[in-house]
Amino acid sequence: MAAATEGVDVDGLVRAAQAGDRQAFTKLVHVFSGPMYNLAYRMAGNADDAADLTQEIFVKLYRAIGQFRYRSKFSTWLCSLAANTCRSGMRKLGRRRDREWLGLDNGLDNESQFHEAVDPGDKPDRVIARRETQAMIEGAIAKLPEAFRSVIVLRDLQGLAYDEIAEALCCSMGTVKSRLARARIRVRDDLMVRRDEM
């Protein structure tokens, strides 16, 4: 999230958008579209639902931006709106969430995939091994119950602080830490089972 907003006057754009400046709102969408798509993809588990949910996040943002009161960082407030949109959206869609995520053969086009930087000096087998490990981790996260998945996505993948997650999910910091610990244990156990099966 920090990388997306580097060098951008987010508060200035928010104030302008709240005053009705459509260009400022369009710039906010541009700045946050990648992080919101990644969040939606990890919550929903597939590209089609993630694209629909990302669009819904920005529709809700357009309607609700006037309600932002600067009591927290805008990115935290937006993550709260996005997490709630994803949860309610997936319930509406009635989709199962235990789909395989980000496998090497996931059918996504190159622009919609989450990319990792590749060191030009890396050997191809190391790049493949890293991608396979990433796919296994994503698959383990996909199996988590929604409450655990939300916390691990916001903390380990979006980089939010514990207090920001608590605010975004409307729960206590103790609940966040407990769910995160349990989510990490489940992911670790799932990875150990997968490695034993290889």
Residue 173, domain member (yes or no): yes
pLDDT tens digit string along 92-137?
765 444 444 334 334 444 333 444 454 556 677 777 877 888 888 8
pLDDT tens digit string along 7-21?
889 999 999 999 999
Residue 103, domain member (yes or no): no
How much is the pLDDT for 122? 63
CA dist., res. 81 & res. 36, Å (int): 10
The answer on 124 and 76 residing in a single domain is no
The answer on 90 and 150 residing in a single domain is no
pLDDT at 161 > cutoff 50: yes
CA dist., res. 132 & res. 195, Å (int): 11
**Residue 156's domain spans which residues?**
115-198
How much is the pLDDT for 142? 84
Count of alpha carbons within 13 Å of 157, Cβ hemisphere only?
26
Q: Are 150 and 43 in contact, with CB atoms under 8 Å apart?
A: yes
Residue 120, domain member (yes or no): yes
> Which of 68, 96, 124 corresponds to the end of one domain?
96
Contacts 24+ apart (CB under 8 A), 46-55: 46/99, 46/101, 47/107, 47/108, 47/112, 49/89, 49/90, 49/93, 49/95, 51/112, 52/89, 53/85, 53/86, 53/89, 53/90
Residue 107, domain member (yes or no): no
The answer on 1 and 67 residing in a single domain is yes
Q: Which residues contact 198 (CB under 8 A, 6 or more apart)?
A: none
State mean pLDDT over 2-8.
76
How much is the pLDDT for 108? 41
How much is the pLDDT for 68? 95
The answer on 144 and 74 residing in a single domain is no
Instruction: Please tell me the total count of domains within the chain.
Output: 2
Q: Across 55-64, 96-105, 134-143, 162-171, which has the greatest mean pLDDT?
A: 55-64
pLDDT at 54 > cutoff 80: yes
How much is the pLDDT for 99? 42
How much is the pLDDT for 26? 96
How much is the pLDDT for 36? 94
